[in-house]
Every structure is written in C-alpha cells, then in structure tokens.
Structure 1
Amino acid sequence: MSALARPGVRVALAAVLAALVVAGLVVGGLLGRRVLAERRSTAAGQDAVAAATQLAVNFTTLDYRTFDRDAQRVVDDATGTFKKEFAAQTDQLKKLVTSNKAVSKGKVLKAGLVSHDADSARVILVVDADVTNTAAATPVARHYRMQVDLTRSGDQWLTDQLQFVG
C-alpha cells in the first residue's frame, strides 16, 4: 500500500488543502477590501475636485443681470465659514456688480487634490475669468489661484473655506 493510500495521510492532506483554501480566501477577502477602500477613497477625492471646480466656476461667474441666481449657486455649494462670509457680503457685492454692470465668466484651468479623508478635502485651483464692466467693454482676463477646503455633508462636498493663494 502506498503512502498516499493510507487513510491517515489522506486526512492530513485534506486538512492541509482545506487550510490552504481557507487562508487563500482570507487573504483574497482582505485584499479585496483594501482595493475597494482604495477605489472609494479615489472616487471621494475625484468628487471633491469636481465640487471645488464647480464652486470656483460659480464664484468667478457673476452677471449683474442674474446676480441673485449666480450668488445663490455659490451659497448652495457652501457651508460653515465660507457660507456665512459670502452671504454676509452678498448685498454689498450686488451693489458693486450692478452699479458697474459687471459680467465675469470663470473657467478652471487646473485643479489638484492636495489632501482628503472621509470628511474633508483640500483642492488647489488655477482659475481665469474674463471680466467686462462699465470701465472695460472688452473682456479683461483675471487670473486667480485658489485653495478650497471642503467638508462632506451626506453625499455632497461643500466649500467651507476659500482662500486666494500666491
């Protein structure tokens, strides 16, 4: 009788194979969880960049004829400090934009994720805006570099702070 034909050897081999299968499943599960978590993190970072990009466009796109709607878009995508500060300055900004018949059309040239976790993100953006007003009928290009700090609220990223950076 060969060694493999013995009942004790077969049981031992079966136990070793079962242990290897279980170990493989555990390792596969752990790796799968890690990959899934990494994909979720990457998606959250991309969502934060998209939200910051939209906020930067909204913030730099104001038209004296549609100011209330334009300003409301900024407020809708804001929270915390930035929302309070922007809302507090809206009336003064409206007077300035309206009296100068100002029109600003912004576009984001570059946006990059600096950092993020499950609840917060920081994005740096390079933004250009073409501005016309009573003093400049031909569009004048304005260049901005912004740092936008976001906070997650449910499934939405909202701007908590916006700073102009050098």
Structure 2
Amino acid sequence: MRRPGLNVVLYVVALLLGCGVVFGGVLVHQERQDRQRASAEQERYGDVLAAARKEIEAFVNIDYTKAQESIDAVAEGATGDFAKQYDTSTKDVVKILTQAKSVMEGKVLWAGVVDADHDSASVIVATSGTVANTSTNNKPVARQFRIKVDLVDEGGEWKTSNVEFVG
C-alpha cells in the first residue's frame, strides 16, 4: 500500500529542513563577516587614536635643552604638506627656544575620532599642560589646547597630514 500523501509531506519537510540549514549557514557566515569588519574597524580606530595621541604628545612637549629631539619627534609622525611646513617653520626654532629658555610640557587628556575611512581620519585632541620661558619669568603657566589632527594611512602607519588649533 502506497501512501502518496505521506511521501509528499516527508519530501516537503526534508526540503524545508534543507532550506533552513542553508539559511542558517548564510546567517552564521554573515555574522562572522560583520564581526570581522567590526573588529578591523575598531582596530583601525585604535591605531588612529594612538598615532594622534603620540603626535600631539610630541607637539606639546618641547624642551629647549633637547630642542632638536622635540622637533624630530613631531617630524617623525608628519607627512605631506604638514611635514614640509613643519620642517620649514622649525629651521630657526631651536635658536628661539634656546634664547627664550622655553619648556612646554603637556599631556593628552582625551582624543576622539571625528571621521575615518580606510586611509584617512580626523581626530580632535584635548591637551593640558604648562609653558615656562623668559617671558613668564621661567614660571610654568597653564596651557590647554584643542587640536584637530588629520591623518593618512601610509603603508599601514598613520601619519599626521595636518594640525589645526580649534579652540
């Protein structure tokens, strides 16, 4: 005795189970890709923030007794027009820093990515510190800066392409 109705039901159930397995596999694959993308993006944001922090820490820490070291630290993280402008503007800086006995010390309080894509980013950085020189009678005076840093990815390394004081 044949039961054609039962066979059709079994085929439909098997087909539905197969479709469910395929659909579930696709969802698992998509979820895995989404997590990998999110992880890569989070790592990129971390790299961008670390590069911006490092550059601005160098930028707000200048000591006339180690002026060339201070300048070189900023230049190391610079690229493009910013590197050229910085290089040009620092030619006489060592002499000026030494004459004024200038010491600027600071730290990054916070930094946040404003915009980012796969090869460029903008970061706002807030700093706090002091500056002491002959015009302050060599007494530290408080200085806070808000700085916008534009960065570009050069072969896996984030470099500063622009620095702008924003407030």
TM-score (norm 1): 0.90
- Counterpart residue number, 2:128: 128
1:37 and 1:7 mapped to 2: Cα distance?
Answer: 45
Q: In the TM superposition, what whole-angstrom CA distance separates every residue of 1:81-139 from its partner, at most 9, and x where no partner exists? A: 11111111111211111111111112112211111111111111111231122233221
Which consecutive unaligned segments of at least 5 residues does structure 1 have?
none
2:101 and 2:2 mapped to 1: Cα distance?
Answer: 97
Counterpart code for 1:165? V
Is residue 2:145 matched to residue 1:112?
A: no
- Counterpart residue number, 1:59: 59
1:34 and 1:110 mapped to 2: Cα distance?
Answer: 28
Residues 1-166 of structure 1 aligned to structure 2 (within 5 Å): 6-135=6-135, 136-166=137-167
| Higher mean displacement: 31-40 or 21-30 | 31-40
Aligned-residue identity in percent: 34
CA offset at residue 12 of structure 1? 3.6
C-alpha RMSD of the superposition: 2.1
Counterpart code for 1:122? S
2:90 and 2:120 mapped to 1: Cα distance?
Answer: 26
Q: In the TM superposition, what whole-angstrom CA distance separates every residue of 1:10-59 from its partner, at most 9, and x where no partner exists? A: 34422321221111111111122112212211221122112111111100
Number of residues of Structure 1 aligned to a counterpart in Structure 2: 166
